[in-house]
Every structure is written in structure tokens, then in C-alpha cells.
Structure 1
């Protein structure tokens, strides 16, 4: 059976947007897996993969790190029900857009709540690594200021997805595929970390997010939330 190494927070919360991509991909393929939780300070658990980040999967003799590499591996090893939708390049573009535009707009809105939900043993690591990234260790203050100034900017970043979702139920067309899973991971990152309302109720992205939460017997909706 496949083993998925997944980032864990307090109370078994699983916030990693990249690990969520892997879980959606596994479900898309109809594959089961064994879950191995990994905290920020438990990198020794994935040393065998020569990786410092998650997700990692162990699939028989294959060890694969990085969510995009995992998706490519799964599509090659299990070709039934292709994962990338209309085109692999489209899926790669959407995942890259989420990485470079959506995540940077979202992280400042979440960072204080993320820190509050990190396991106590991992909080010094988070404080040091994210503090260096942001230039401050006052995550609550940074988050509060970001929410005053950045909510409209975050919603604006979603405009490419919004335009597509006005015309079709999923980014990939009539059925979900990897482009949808890439963006859904970002929203599950937020859902696990914070009760903050990110979307207006009449936003097409809001309706799409609900459809994504309901996929695979409500996998996303069943995740432990803030």
C-alpha cells in the first residue's frame, strides 16, 4: 500500500495545501494509502526520501517527493482516469499560478492562526522560519494588518478562476482534475487553520469550493477545521 507522509498540526489537523493535492490525486485514482503524520521537527521521518518538505509518498519501490512529481508518478503508474484533465500543461500552469499568486496572497491572512495551531514542540521552528520570511515574529499583528488591507487583493487574485467557473463547474471542465485539486488545497489550508470567511456567498469560487469539499465522500469537508 502507498504511504503518504503528511504535515500534522495540533489535534491531528492536516493543513498542508501540497499534501491536500496529493490526497485529492490519490482519491482521483481510486487508490488507498496509509497515512504517516510528520511534524515540522520530524524531518528524520522523510530523510529516506532526501527531502525537507512534504508531501512524500512511498509506493512500492518508488519514493516520490513534491506534489507535482507525485501527480506525475501517479498518472504514469496508474493510467486509468487521467489526473491532468484536458492537458498536462494546463494543470502545471494552474498549479504554478496557485503557488506563486494565490498562496502568497493567502498566507498573510492565515499566519497568526497557523502559528496558534502548530504543535507546541514545532512552534520554535515555525517562529524562526516564518519570522525570517515575514521580518517579524508578531504573527497575530501581521495577520490583523493583512486582513485590514489584503482581503480584497486576495479575492482579486482569484479572478482568473472566477471567470472560468462562471461558465463551467470545475476548472478542468465538467469533471474535476488536478487544476481543481491544486486550488482546493489552498482553500483547505485556510479551512483547517482559520474560521475567517474568505469568499462572498455569491462568488462562483464559493460554489466551486463547496463542490470540492463534497468530492470523494466529503473528504475535504470531513477534515478537522479551525
Structure 2
């Protein structure tokens, strides 16, 4: 019972992340429209040109941070986290005009983030993955993951994986991988001998 509740809470949290990213997307659209709508007013205003440019740049960079945050929530990965931090630091350094010491710390932080992205998270950036329920049909799997799978459209993904793994004499267990060329299917979760969740790994 406890394990089931943990899985349920985890599943709900995934949907809440998607809902939050959708809300942020709508907010970013209105924010972008507001920025474009205010451009004529900026051009004819008597505000100092440098101050005007900083105002526009600050709002644009805030929008960029919001977009990266949406990407992080909808498709969390080490790469998207690094990108959000990079955009946030860049905005802070360019718009807020920190003191020289703070500016130096910002440069060091950006350099560290680039080093982490380059040397630690490179493998995460080379492929993308998506989790799909084993009860989904091949037709829905193709639509959700944007992959091409040969098989009856109404066949369930778990049945397809079970059949193919048996054909290749592979064990049907968590972690088993079915390589299909440009992408792979990996058993992420099983219950009572049935495959309940499959990870689709693309861009291999």
C-alpha cells in the first residue's frame, strides 16, 4: 500500500509539473506580447537611450529565463537545469550592474557551469528520453514519442516489447533494452510480471 501511494504521488507530481509549465507558457506568451506592444512607446519616450535599452534587455532576458524554466519543468534534465542557471546569471550580470567583486564571482560561476555542462553532462545532451505507460498502444506511442515502430497499431507497447525481447532471447526484467536503430525501448518498471512503464530513448 505504501509503495502504491509513493508511486501515485510521484505520478501526480509529474502532471503538476506539466500543468505548471503550461501556466508559465501562457504567462510568457502574454509577457512577450506586452513587450512587443510596448516597443512603440519605448521608441517615442524621452527616457535616456541607455536606460531604455537596459529596460528592454532586462525584460527580454527575463522572458528567456522563463522559457528555459518551462523547458526544465516540462522536460527535466541536467542540461536544462544548467541552461536556466546560465540565463539567470547572465541576466543578473548584464542588467543589475553588480559591483566588480560580484561581477567576478558571476564570471567564475558561469565558467563553472560551462565546465559542468561540457565535462559532466555531455552524455545527457546526446540523447533524449520519454516515459510511456506499458498499456499504451503502438499508435499512441508513435504519436507521443515521435518514433516509428513496426507492428499492429492497437498492439500494446508492453506486449510488443515482451514479444521482441523473447525473439532476441533477452530476459524480461527492469532495465532490459530493445534496440531499434535510431531509438531504443527500455523497461523502466514492472508489476506482477507485466511491463507497466517503458522509457523511449531517442537520438542514439
- Whether TM-score is above 0.5 comes out as no
Name the TM-score class by shorter chain: 0.3 to 0.5
Q: Which has the larger radius of gyration?
A: 2
TM-score by length of 1: 0.30
